[in-house]
Structure formats: C-alpha cells, structure tokens
A and B are shown apart, each in its own frame.
Chain A
Amino acid sequence: MVQMSTPLTYDALIAARHQEVQELIAAEHGLIGYIYPHAPLELFLAHDFTPILLWAEPKIPSAYEASLQTFCCAYSRNLFSQRSKEHMPPLNAILFPGGTCDSLQNLGDVWRARFPDDTVLRLTYPVANDDMAVTYLAEELRDLSNHLEVILGKRFVMELYQKAVALIAEFKAAAQFIAVARIIRPSIYPYFEYARLIRKFLTAPSLNSLTEIESVATHLQNELRKEQCLPTTEALRHGLLAGHIPDQIEIQSTDEPRIMIIGGMVDSEGVAFHFDNAKANADLEDLEIAFDLLSFTYRTTFTKAPNLHFDPFTEMAQSILSAPAEATQEGLPSRLTFLRRVFEKLKIDGLIICEQSFCDPDQFEVPDTLKLAEQKKVLSVRVPLDPEFSDRARLEGRIQSFLETLTAR
C-alpha cells in the first residue's frame, strides 16, 4: 500500500521542508539554489552539485523594503527576505533566470549588489521556441557550464550527466504517470501527496526521493491495470507530453465535480493544503483536485527528457523549451486552445485560479482564462495566494464557498 501522510498544521508542513533541507546540508553536498522552475538540473548534477529549488517561505518576516519596492513580485520579495534574514541554506551559488519576467530579472541585479559575497549565476532564456531559440539556449547553457567550472572548480562529467538524465527522466515519467492517473480517477491518489512528492524531489533530487515517487507510480499502474485503464492513461500521458489531448480519451462521468487549478510559480503543496482544509470545512471530503497547470508540477514535469545520443547542451535546451503552458513564453493563442481542449476533454467543472501579487506573466492571462471558462460553463474562482499571505482562514473560506457552489450545481 502506498504510504500517505496528512499534514496536521501549516507550520508542520513547513517544518518538514526545513528538515529535508537540513538533511541535504548535513550530507555535505555542494548546493546550487534556483528559482525559475525550468532550471537545467541535469547540468548541475553533471558538475557534481545538487540543485535545490528555493521555495517561498510563508513564515519569513519581511526584510526586503530597503532594497525592493512592494510591486516586485511576491515570490521575489519572499526570497529576498529569506536571504536577508539568513534563512537560506548555505549555497555554493544561486541561479537567477533572465528574460522570463522583469521582477526576477532585476532581482538578480539587486541580489548581486546587496549580497556581494554570494555567487550569482544567470541563465537567460529565449521567449520563443524555434530552432534558433534552442541554439541560443544551448549556448547559454554551455556558457553556464564553463562558468561553473571556472568559478566553482567542478568540471562537467559526462558520466554524471548520463546518471542525471536518467534520474530526472525517471522522476518526470513517474510524476507524469501520477498526474495522468489522477486525471483519469482523481480519488486514486490525493493531490496533496502528489504535490508533496514533486516538491520533495525538487528540493533534493536523489535516488531516495525518486524511489518514493516511483513506488507510488507503480502502485497506481497496478491499480489502473486492474481496471483496464492503463492504455488510456498512457495515451493521455504521451498526448500531454506532445502538447495535446488525444481524441480517444474519454473521461468517465462521476457524481463529484472535476476541479482544476491554474497559476504560475505558486506552492502546489500549499494550495493542496488549503484546498483540503476548505473541503473538510464544507463536509466534502470526497472532492479532489483532478488536474493542475502550475509551474512546479505540470509545467516542470511534462517536459521531454534529453536524448543521450546527442549534444548535451542542445538536448537540455530542447528539454527546457518543451515545457508546456508556460506563460513566460510567447504563444497565448496555443495555450488557450490547449485550455479549451482540457476543459472539454477532461470534463472540468470548476477552476481555481491561483494568483501571486505582481506576477505579470500569469496575471495577464487571467482575463482570457476567465472568458474561456465562462464560455465552457466552468465555474471559476480567483484566489490570491502570496507566500506570506497571513489571512489563510479567509482564503480557505473563499475556496470553501466555491466548492459549495460547485457541488450545488
């Protein structure tokens, strides 16, 4: 049976995360922190560093005001406060993205000025996804690799790269399978657990965290095999990897409404925590989130794995640029087409839109998303979800009202 944990409080959830990071530090790995979800994990591992996703910290006291204005995005402000309060793990370097949004672009510059002893790396992404964009990003990755060797003294090791590609590819395959199994039958595995597994792996990619997620995927595979749903599940997984939902996919109707979450770099596990509290308050224990299009879950895991037979940098660039539904990339029309298809084929009844304050790329897409939801008769709610959001009871109340309205429909 798959092991499941239930968070007691939000504080307990955060404490568990700290424990994982502390274990990583104790293991004396060289750590490189990153912020933007589409970081080249394989590259860091190939240089014998552990990439660690720097999550927002809900309990951190605000400490950005002397360096950043309030209209900097919530995630950036939170990270800056963590660093100012020396709440971050000891990192060998921190990677900032360039070209993804203005807040993170400028945050890197401010960080360099305020923390001159930190090793600040930059990977600048193209906004397009054509052959020239792949070539450009491949060269950026090559420059980053050279930088890692020169600055941090660890060279790119092909054997480590090969192991890293296998590790990340297996993680993504398992995560993809769980996500798709949950689309087919949301009650098969709690969304909170799914988000937790992904968060754990991204906090510290390792064989241990891989084993945990793979055992869940195997268990779900067996379940779905018994129900003869495995071919549909695999077809949907391959379809989503290619950016579409195959025609033959038919989701069986159930009594429970099917709920989807959309948003950007929000904490999926945190969202799940509040959702679970809201449904408990509404006496709707059987309700589950069916699908999400969030950065740290769907957008990160549904990317193609690098092919080991070709140039590593080109392959990593292709892998990164294959991230689906990414609002920092050009292509709103294709994202809306995909969303329309998701609403129709995956039989979505309700949509929770998670918004972080001053997050331009995601906030810009909300009106078109709302319009589409209305056209497709999908009930929607906007949920402001800054990391340091203090009035969590009110937030859960909002979700609870939404769930009650949805089930009454």
Chain B
Amino acid sequence: MAPDATTTPKEKAYRKLNTSKLLRDTMTLHILSTKQASQQGRLAWVTSGFPVEIPVAFDVTAAYPEQYGAIVGSEKCGPLLCGFAEELGFSQELCSYARSSIGSVKNPQQSPLTGLPTPQALLACNNICGTVLSWYEAVSEMTGAPVYLVDMPPLEGDQPSHHLSYVKSKLEGLIEFLSQTFNQDYDEEKLIQVAELSNEAVSLWTRALEACRHKPTPLNCADRFLSMAPIVALRGTQQAISFYQAFLAEVQDRVKNNVGAIVDEKVRLLWDNIPPWFTIYNFFNTLAKKGVSFPADSYTHAWSANIPRGEILESIAKVYSNVYLNKGLTAKIDKMCSLIKDYDLEGFVLFSVRSCKRYSLGQMVTKEEITRRTGVPGVIIEGDMVDSQQYNEAQVETRVEALLEMIV
C-alpha cells in the first residue's frame, strides 16, 4: 500500500528538542558530581521543594531521590525496586518514590546507576507532602545519615507572622546543622549569590514555560518534565543557567518560526500531577499523533518563584512556604484555572497518582470546580508515577478518548 501523499513517511508526530543532548550531558555531569561529592563527604539527599540554595551555599551537592524515582520509572524497574522495599516490610500502599528509593538503598547493585550515592545528610522539607519526613527517617535508619527537616506547616491564605518566624527558625537550624555536619562556616554573602543564580535559572525556566502560550506550543508535556531536571537538581548553580539559556533560545526559536512541539496541534490540554514515568513518551506521543498537545501543567510550574530581595532567610522562608502544594486545594484550583485561561486550553487531564496523596486527594472536587469556573471539560485517569503495576493503560486510553470526544 502506498504511503499517504500528504505526509512524509518517517515524519514523527512529535519534534525532539535539539537541547536534549545538552540536557543529557548536563545531568550526566551532575550525576558524576554527586558520586564525587559522596566520596568527599559532601552529599545531601534533598526533597524537590527544599530550599536548596542553603546547602549549595555550603558547597554541599544535592541529589534528589524523587528525580531518581523518575529514572527508576523510566527504566521500567519500579516494581522490582518497590518490591525490595516491600520485602523489608514497607506497605505497597506507600509512596512509590519512597519505596523505590528504599529498595535501591537495600539493593544498589540491582538498581539503575547502582542507586544514588551514599549521603552524608538527608534534607527534607514537608512543603510538598508529609511523606518526605517518614521516608527520609526510614532511609536514615538504613544509611546512618542524619535527617534535618525544614518544617513548613501547610498554609491557608496569607502567611501569618508566626508561621514566617517559625519557618525562619527552621532555616537557622538548618544552617547550624550544615555547619556542624559539613564543618563549614555560614557565609551570608555566598547564600545571596547562590539565590541570585537560582533566580536567574528560575526566570529562564519560567520564560520557557510562558512561551507555551503560543500556538502551536513549542513544548509538550514530556519536554517540560524532562527539561525540568536542572531546575530541580541544579538550582543555584551556573550549570542550570547555562542549560536554560540554550533551552530558552531553542524555545524562542520555535515560537518565532511557528514550529510546534507536535506536528499538527489540534487540541490543547492541561496536565495535572507527576507523569507516569514508565510510559511518559508512549502516553504523550500517542496523543500527539491525534493532534493533542499539553502546553501547560500544574507540576513543572511549581519552580517559578523568585527569591525576593531583602533579608535572605526571610525571603527564602516566604518563597518556599508559599508553593501552591502547601496552600491547599483552592490555591491549586486557582492556579489551574489561570493556566487554562492564559494558555487557552480546551480541557484538562488530572492524573490521580496513588502514591501522592497531597497532590491527588481532592481531584474529584478539582475537576468539578475547574469545569464550573472555566467551562472546559476534564477527565481523571488513575495510576502511579513509578509503580507500573498500578496503571491500566487500556482504561486510561478509554477515559482520555472520552474527553477528546467531548472537545473535538
């Protein structure tokens, strides 16, 4: 049978970014640096919402178990590593990032990259969820590395002064902890410089995200989820800035030349939550073939706040306390509604991630409220980000198809 004359036979529905090689090189160097830091006794495992500028100012390298969980998922070995944790007695009902992380500590030789390098400290901040404390304390029991928790109690509305004072005291405690653990004095000037580097990277990243308002969008969901690696892991470093300068240039170039992330954008949707890492390409590229793009998502926009000028610890306390995951359901709904409006989206997909209660519980209310406010339809699909055993591909396809029928 002859190929369709209107399309090039080998043309893919999805356009790969040229900067993906730079991304790979940047992250490979980062992984190598974490191994070196561990050998030198200067590695900390850090949660994704942690005010990482502070350990970076202490010349401590940060490794991210959540990012490692994404690698485990992409390598499709989530069930294996989660199984190692379950053998230790950890319930299958617990977060799969935590289970795969614990599993990799138990059996590094059977884990991608032989697991994360051994940490000298475990730095957790509960502004993203409450699980991180229990998870890091469990890892601490296995590795002997001490845990420091920056407690940021959830907020409702504006941050009251006693909340700010409390969080600031936790940051002061962090400085004391790092000084003792890594035998280094605190240098406020250096922290200010790191915060400036962090802000610069965040600004570049945010501009790239905002460029997705363009039709067709220059970035699809998988592009953003992969390209966010440096903003998570390398905030406060020159490497992050260098990567995002190149990344933004490519994004702007796509906008200028009207080149979309997918070849034929017909439907623009919002994505909510962490993606199913084990099928990220398959999921988004299958939809790309149908002309479905995802110009915005609630997750990658989480790293878009600048640390304001002023007293540095207070500024950090304000920015990190006010991430929208720490501000309740209404803040998240507000954010998603504004994304739908600003990016001119026609529908939304809420991924109900069994592992992530903070992010997922409330999505049924969210779905109804967003539709009520914006008039666009949405769908909830169920699964997990790492544990592919909790994901039913056929069921997901059916639900997304139903959404598309409502829109097209």
Is A364 within 8 A of B140, CB to CB? no
B56 located at the interface, meaning its Cβ lies under 8 Å from any Cβ of chain A in the complex? no
Report A-chain residues with C-beta under 8 Å of the C-beta of B169: 132
Is B362 within 8 A of A110, CB to CB? yes
Interface residues in A89-142 (C-beta closer than 8 Å to B):
98-103, 105-107, 109-110, 113-114, 122, 124-128, 132-133, 135-136, 139-140
A23 located at the interface, meaning its Cβ lies under 8 Å from any Cβ of chain B in the complex? no
Interface residues in B103-160 (C-beta closer than 8 Å to A):
126, 129-131, 133-135, 137-138, 140-141, 147, 149, 151, 153-154, 156, 160
Sorting the interface of chain B by its residue count into under 10, 10 to 19, 20 to 34 or 35 or more gives 35 or more
Is A110 within 8 A of B329, CB to CB? yes
Digitize A254-277: 1 where CB-to-B-CB distance is under 8 Å, 0 elsewhere.
000000000000000000000000
Stretch from A67-75, A188-196, A318-326 at the B interface: A67-75
Q: How far is the CA of A189 from the CA of B387 in the complex (A)?
A: 47
A282 located at the interface, meaning its Cβ lies under 8 Å from any Cβ of chain B in the complex? no
Report A-chain residues with C-beta under 8 Å of the C-beta of B95: 360
Is B365 within 8 A of A122, CB to CB? no
Stretch from B43-51, B338-346, B353-361 at the A interface: B353-361
Q: How far is the CA of A261 from the CA of B134 in the complex (A)?
A: 21
Q: Which one, B88, B360, B365, contacts A113 given CB within 8 A?
A: B365
Q: Which one, B126, B131, B137, B330, contacts A332 given CB within 8 A?
A: B137
Q: How far is the CA of A368 from the CA of B169 in the complex (A)?
A: 30
Q: How far is the CA of A132 from the CA of B174 in the complex (A)?
A: 14
Report A-chain residues with C-beta under 8 Å of the C-beta of B93: 71, 357-358, 363
Report B-chain residues with C-beta under 8 Å of the C-beta of A110: 329, 361-362, 364-365
Interface size on A, residues (CB 8 A): 51
Q: How far is the CB of A103 from chain B (nearest CB, A)?
A: 6
Interface residues in B337-391 (C-beta closer than 8 Å to A):
352, 354, 357-358, 360-365, 369, 382
B186 located at the interface, meaning its Cβ lies under 8 Å from any Cβ of chain A in the complex? no
Report A-chain residues with C-beta under 8 Å of the C-beta of B360: 69, 71
Report A-chain residues with C-beta under 8 Å of the C-beta of B358: 102, 105-106
Digitize A271-315: 1 where CB-to-B-CB distance is under 8 Å, 0 elsewhere.
000000000000000000000000000000000000000000000
A57 located at the interface, meaning its Cβ lies under 8 Å from any Cβ of chain B in the complex? no
Q: How far is the CB of A357 from chain B (nearest CB, A)?
A: 6
Is B138 within 8 A of A364, CB to CB? yes
Q: Given A358-B93, A363-B93, does the pair A71, B357 have CB atoms closer than 8 Å?
A: yes
Majority SS at the chain A contact face: helix
A66 located at the interface, meaning its Cβ lies under 8 Å from any Cβ of chain B in the complex? yes
Q: Which residue of A lies closest to B355 (CB)?
A: A71
Report A-chain residues with C-beta under 8 Å of the C-beta of B318: none
Q: How far is the CA of A327 from the CA of B135 in the complex (A)?
A: 12
B39 located at the interface, meaning its Cβ lies under 8 Å from any Cβ of chain A in the complex? no
Q: Which one, A113, A328, A330, contacts B137 given CB within 8 A?
A: A330
Report A-chain residues with C-beta under 8 Å of the C-beta of B160: 139, 143
Is B130 within 8 A of A99, CB to CB? yes
Report B-chain residues with C-beta under 8 Å of the C-beta of A363: 90-91, 93-94
Is B90 within 8 A of A367, CB to CB? yes
Chain A CB within 10 A, most for which of B88, B162, B163, B330: B162
Is B138 within 8 A of A68, CB to CB? no
Is A124 within 8 A of B154, CB to CB? yes
Report A-chain residues with C-beta under 8 Å of the C-beta of B3: none
Q: Given A135-B162, A139-B162, does the pair A128, B357 have CB atoms closer than 8 Å?
A: no
Q: How far is the CA of A380 from the CA of B169 in the complex (A)?
A: 41
Q: How far is the CB of A315 from chain B (nearest CB, A)?
A: 17
A42 located at the interface, meaning its Cβ lies under 8 Å from any Cβ of chain B in the complex? no
Is A125 within 8 A of B153, CB to CB? yes
B165 located at the interface, meaning its Cβ lies under 8 Å from any Cβ of chain A in the complex? yes
B170 located at the interface, meaning its Cβ lies under 8 Å from any Cβ of chain A in the complex? yes
Is B354 within 8 A of A105, CB to CB? no
B328 located at the interface, meaning its Cβ lies under 8 Å from any Cβ of chain A in the complex? yes
Report A-chain residues with C-beta under 8 Å of the C-beta of B154: 98-99, 105, 124
Q: Given A110-B362, A128-B170, does the pair A98, B329 have CB atoms closer than 8 Å?
A: no
Q: How far is the CA of A101 from the CA of B94 in the complex (A)?
A: 13
Q: How far is the CA of A249 from the CA of B329 in the complex (A)?
A: 50
Digitize A352-381: 1 where CB-to-B-CB distance is under 8 Å, 0 elsewhere.
000101101101111110110000000000
Q: List 20 A-B contacts (CB under 8 A).
A: A67-B365, A71-B93, A99-B126, A109-B328, A110-B361, A125-B153, A126-B153, A127-B153, A128-B170, A132-B170, A135-B165, A136-B165, A330-B149, A332-B141, A336-B141, A358-B93, A358-B357, A360-B94, A360-B357, A364-B131
* Beyond known contacts A126-B166, A333-B141: 5 more, CB 8 A cutoff: A72-B361, A107-B361, A132-B169, A135-B165, A368-B141
